[in-house]
Amino acid sequence: MSATPNNTRRVGILRRALRLNSARVALGITVLIAVLAVFGGALAPHDPLAQDTSAVLQGPSGRHWLGTDYLGRDVLSRLMAGSGRSIVGALEAVGIGLALGVLPGLASLWLGRVYEWVSLRIVDAFMTLPYVVFAVAVTGFFGNSLIAAMTAVGVLIAPLYFRVTRAAALGLTRTQYVEAAELYGASRRRILRRHLWSKILPTIAVTTAQALAAALLIVSSLAFLGLGVQPPLPTWGELLSSDLDYLSQQPWAPLVPGLLIMLVAGALNALADAVRDAGSAGAPGTLAVDQAAEAQAEDGQSAETVPAADPVLRVAGLRVSVHGGRAEAVHGVSFEVGRGEIVGLVGESGSGKTLTCRSVTGLLAPGCARSGGSVELLGGADTEPVDLTALDRAGWNAVRGPRIGIVFQDPASYLNPSIPVGRQLVEALRAHTELSKAQARARALELFGSVGLREPETVYAQYPHELSGGMAQRVLIAIAISGDPELLIADEATSALDVLVQAEVLDLLRSLVRERGLALLLVTHDLGVVAELCDRVLVFDAGRIVEQGSAAQVVGAPAHPRTKRLLDAALVWQPGFEDVHSELIGAAS
């Protein structure tokens, strides 16, 4: 699919919307109803007002296709003749709403804070009034007429237009191209003309279709209550209302006018959806995994597995399929991580390192699945070996936390924004142990202290958004080690942090490995981190391990062209540091 330029996309919205069959059907129905509204009375087979006392409440027949009502009037003719009045009522209400809502909504963004506040409160005030109740009141104040009832409904539709227009314009004023246009000195009016309307008009079109559907329902509700109708003249709602009195004789009678209203409302809503979808549809971006899946490996063989001393994790021949099995992104990866060892997985994005890592934790995204190979936790003195490819949900719950801890990039996003972080740690602790609340709290504070959080009590009660990136990562590490796992997986855990904080977090990880004998699997694209921290490095490319060895060996004397390229890239990224390469080697050795 090719990306379309922005302005041709706008023009194409309607055409694109109509490519959908449902939208075509909906448009057809809408046109049909419009014809019925204009010519319905003329096309009606009988006089909609002609009474026939000899034929009241009859069922459908050749003469009366939909039967007759309690005065012997032809139901079909009344339905057809009534469509005009029903539709015009809805149009009137929506027209009033449109006229009252759009400009004040736009003005609320440009006329200053006082106007904005006051107009928003007025809108809020309107929104406290239910349509039907307000229409009842207005017809009470001004007398019962269609105009009064529809004006009341229209006034209450105005806030919808106000808010929708305001929201669309608000979204637009924050986009870069309007800011850029202002910077270039384009006048407000010019910006309005060129950018604003093209953005707002589709929104207004969608809202209008929805509002028409809603207004039609309200009009028929009001007609049902006897508001805005003059009795012998038919409308859809009035038909339903009179049907209700004869429900026991003709229980099916409300069906046809009811279905008609549903049909029109449904068609309008479908049109609105089609226009909105067509407006928001963009060309989907190519996923990084696609490239990985489709890229050809330069040389077919994955490197030999280097056995780890006292291994904790053993991955053998792991294959991961993506796109629901249609492609493969990891092509047989094997490695081991030993107790107290730090193994780095490096590679460009899309090289399969994160997929590998996620397979170990059983947290692959939907559409991705392990398609071959084995993943095992080998266990130790007091832990059982576990086949990670054969776990059910409950089995995973016993592994994640007590056996494998996981730390992610962008740590704050992995914490629930609505719960204080201390309570999230307590929750994790209590999910795997029998600790009481008080014990868990004490343990949590202890853990917070052990990951270098200076005021555990304060942090305990804080929400994720109140923490700095480094603090959030420490909290996440505390949660990850709270189950006393054998294996810790750090997926780009320091990538989003600034250099100083990054160094602190790396120190913390190193000391955790040393003190607790953890096995650490570190996923990163940063060779600096690898050189600094890792014992062993696995270089990923296109779903394969293309090189592995000690950090000093890989960074100092890269054998594979991909590794060289990663190193070169690291050099290019930091122009001015001519000795980065030697620095990296120095750090690693």
* Beta carbons of 475 and 459 less than 8 angstroms apart: yes
Work out how close the CB of 276 gets to another protein at its nearest, in angstroms, rounded to a whole number.
Answer: 10
Window contacting another protein (CB under 8 A); options: 191-199, 326-334, 427-435, 545-553 = 427-435
Question: At 485, phi and psi to the nearest 5?
Answer: -75, 165
Kindly state whether residue 32 participates in binding another protein, applying the rule CB under 8 A.
no
**b/e code 188-197 from CB counts within 10 Å (16+ = b):** eeebbeebbe
Unique residue bearing structure tokens 């105009």: 147
Interface residue with another protein, options 28, 59, 112, 251 (CB under 8 A): 251
Kindly state whether residue 66 participates in binding another protein, applying the rule CB under 8 A.
no
Window contacting another protein (CB under 8 A); options: 28-36, 193-201, 259-267, 309-317 = 259-267
Nearer residue to another protein within complex by CB, 124 or 507: 124
Nearer residue to another protein within complex by CB, 160 or 275: 160
Q: Pattern 202-221, binding to another protein, x per CB under 8 A?
A: -----x--x--x---x--xx
Q: Pattern 450-479, binding to another protein, x per CB under 8 A?
A: -------------xxxx---------x--x
> Cα–Cα distance between 494 and 508 in angstroms, integer?
11
Kindly state whether residue 415 participates in binding another protein, applying the rule CB under 8 A.
yes
Window contacting another protein (CB under 8 A); options: 73-81, 416-424, 498-506, 511-519 = 416-424
Nearer residue to another protein within complex by CB, 399 or 555: 399
What pairing do the DSSP bridges indicate for beta strands 369-377 and 386-387?
antiparallel
Nearer residue to another protein within complex by CB, 137 or 557: 137
3-state secondary structure string, 127-176? Answer: HCCCHHHHHHHHHHHHCCCHHHHHHHHHHHHHHHHHHHHHHHHHHHHCCH
Kindly write down the DSSP assignment for every residue of 325-352, as one continuous string: GTEEEEEEEEEEEETT-EEEEE--TTSS
Kindly state whether residue 21 participates in binding another protein, applying the rule CB under 8 A.
no
Kindly state whether residue 402 participates in binding another protein, applying the rule CB under 8 A.
yes
Both tokens of residue 80? 């057809």
Nearer residue to another protein within complex by CB, 24 or 432: 432
Nearer residue to another protein within complex by CB, 355 or 570: 355
Work out how close the CB of 521 gets to another protein at its nearest, in angstroms, rounded to a whole number.
Answer: 14
Kindly state whether residue 258 participates in binding another protein, applying the rule CB under 8 A.
yes
Contacts to another protein from residues 474-533, by CB under 8 A: 476, 479-480, 482-483
**What's the Cα-to-Cα distance from 409 to each of 421, 451, 472, 499, 502, rounded to whole Å?**
17, 17, 10, 14, 12
Kindly write down the DSSP assignment for every residue of 483-528, as one continuous string: T--SEEEEESTTTTS-HHHHHHHHHHHHHHHHHH--EEEEEES-HH
| 282 residue type, one letter | G
Nearer residue to another protein within complex by CB, 293 or 412: 412
3-state secondary structure string, 570-583? Answer: HHHHCCCCCCHHHH
Kindly state whether residue 99 participates in binding another protein, applying the rule CB under 8 A.
no
Largest CA distance in the chain: 107
Contacts to another protein from residues 112-141, by CB under 8 A: 121-122, 124-134, 136-141
Interface residue with another protein, options 401, 543, 549, 556 (CB under 8 A): 401
Kindly state whether residue 262 participates in binding another protein, applying the rule CB under 8 A.
yes
Kindly state whether residue 266 participates in binding another protein, applying the rule CB under 8 A.
yes
Cα dihedral 8, 10, 15, 19 sign = positive
> Cα–Cα distance between 276 and 19 in angstroms, integer?
13
Kindly state whether residue 164 participates in binding another protein, applying the rule CB under 8 A.
yes
Nearer residue to another protein within complex by CB, 29 or 107: 29
Contacts to another protein from residues 218-247, by CB under 8 A: 220-221, 224-227, 237, 240, 243-244, 247
Nearer residue to another protein within complex by CB, 253 or 530: 253
Work out how close the CB of 167 gets to another protein at its nearest, in angstroms, rounded to a whole number.
Answer: 5
Work out how close the CB of 362 gets to another protein at its nearest, in angstroms, rounded to a whole number.
Answer: 9
Interface residue with another protein, options 6, 61, 301, 416 (CB under 8 A): 416
Work out how close the CB of 35 gets to another protein at its nearest, in angstroms, rounded to a whole number.
Answer: 21
Secondary structure (3-state) at 314:
strand
CA 253 to chain centre: 44
Kindly state whether residue 147 participates in binding another protein, applying the rule CB under 8 A.
no
Q: 257: part of which helix (H) or strand (E)? A: helix 255-280
| 36 residue type, one letter | L
Work out how close the CB of 473 gets to another protein at its nearest, in angstroms, rounded to a whole number.
Answer: 12
Kindly state whether residue 326 participates in binding another protein, applying the rule CB under 8 A.
no
3-state secondary structure string, 420-434? Answer: CHHHHHHHHHHHHCC
Kindly state whether residue 261 participates in binding another protein, applying the rule CB under 8 A.
yes
Task: Measure CA of the first residue to CA of the last residue in the chain; give whole Å.
Answer: 49
Contacts to another protein from residues 341-380, by CB under 8 A: 361, 363
